[in-house]
Amino acid sequence: MTAESTPEPGIPGESGTTGPRHRAKGRRRKTRGGHKGLKIAAWTAAGIVVLGGTGAGYLYFKLNGNIKSVDIDQALGTDRPTKVDNGSENILVLGSDTRSGSNKKLGGGADDGSARSDTAMIVHVYEGHKKASVVSIPRDTLVDRPECTDTDGNVHDAASMKMFNSAYSTGGAACAVKTVESLTGIRMDHYLEVDFAGFQKLIDELGGVDVTTTKDITDSESHLNLKAGTHTLTGKQALGLVRTRHGVGDGSDLGRIQLQQAFIKALINQIKDVDVFGNPKKLYDLANTATKAVTTDSDLGSVNKLMSFANGLKGISSKNMTMITMPVQYDPADANRVLVDEAKAKAVWKALKNDRAIPKSATEGTATGKADGVVTAS
């Protein structure tokens, strides 16, 4: 196939084209002010600049090949909460600590290929996709883990009073989703996982993220040493910040969650300010890094689907995002573990299931840790 007949990358909801490449340039001039025109032009320009004119279609297929996906629906079968058809979506987002490859030196521990879910968040996107609620699940929460089948068909027995992040280390993505659905009674529409190495590279590709620390943060285990003040964090520093437990507050997982949530808001603000469409090389580098960094459910396992999904979230700013920690209380038998505050958690899940705002009463009087106000978006 010649460069002139190579299909251009598709735009979500539209089929690709097979016309000469100069037609894409013409379309760029006509629709410069429109979002779709910008995306078409950006993808095409990236293909020309980065690949030296070998065809923007090659760029699309290369990025498509980067994405790893898992068939959650196949593994979990039909024994799941009913999907609520009210226009909302629920996404389980995990930050994974894979103990192999490039993640080994970032995560420490044995190089045995094992993995943990260091970060877990339920993202509820409300009808209209203009606002969202994020509920962080502390990894140290003791939960009843249900029987689950992983994506290789292996069955894992149910277990009582196990740390939440053991679900992922036991049976991977499918068991993590199964545990969350059992815990909340809410069906997860999508699954998205980001690993340590990919996260660090993505922050570097963005040019860093601006945050302000109100106190010094030092943690040798997370390779973090920040004086109080405003910083543009590198990927390594950002990773250290979202992983640190001992550098701030009371050293708890709950305190770390507060840091993670503050960082995510700063990251969202930063992304909105990055003019990737004005820089084709940057667009490609970001897309290449991002697609290598993520593992998704099979429904999001292509560039078109992932772009369409991301486009549906672009109207949500950090100001329209409510972030809380799942209501928990410290375990009287072990201060390093927490237990679900059943009554308050039930109020959270009910609100999300009905596509309503989480009531403030649901988080009052719960365990929160101590890291409040340490990091703010700059």
**SS3 for 145-208, per residue?**
ECCEECCCCCEECCEEEEECCHHHHHHHHHHHHHHHHHHHCCCCCEEEEEEHHHHHHHHHHHCC
> 51, 66, 81: which is the final residue of a domain?
66
Last residue of a domain, one of 47, 66, 85: 66
100 and 201 in a single domain? The answer is yes
The tens place of each residue's pLDDT in the chain, 378 residues long, gives 444 444 433 333 344 444 444 444 444 444 444 555 554 444 444 333 333 333 456 677 788 888 899 999 999 999 999 998 889 999 999 988 654 444 445 444 434 444 566 789 999 999 999 999 999 999 999 999 999 999 999 999 999 999 999 999 999 999 999 999 999 999 999 999 988 888 899 899 888 989 888 888 888 777 788 888 999 999 999 988 888 876 665 556 788 888 888 888 888 877 766 665 567 777 788 888 888 888 999 999 888 888 788 878 878 888 899 999 999 999 999 988 999 999 999 999 999 999 999 999 999 999 886 655 566 665
Same domain as 247, residue 297: yes
Q: What is the pLDDT of residue 35?
A: 54
Best CA proximity match to 290, nearest among 206, 211, 210, 207:
206
Amino acid at 185: G
State the Cα–Cα distance between residues 104 and 123, nearest whole angstrom.
28
CATH code of residue 313 = 3.40.630.190
For residues 90 and 32, state if they share a domain. no
Whole-number Å distance between alpha carbons of 139 and 131: 25
Are residues 26 and 74 located together in one domain of the fold?
A: no
| Domain hosting residue 95, numbered range | 68-378
Give me the number of domains the chain comprises: 2
pTM of the model: 0.79
| pLDDT for the residue 369 | 67
Q: Could you tell me whether strands 224-226 and 190-195 are parallel, antiparallel, or unpaired per DSSP bridges?
A: unpaired
- Angstrom CA distances, 206 to 235, 284, 316, stand at 9, 12, 19
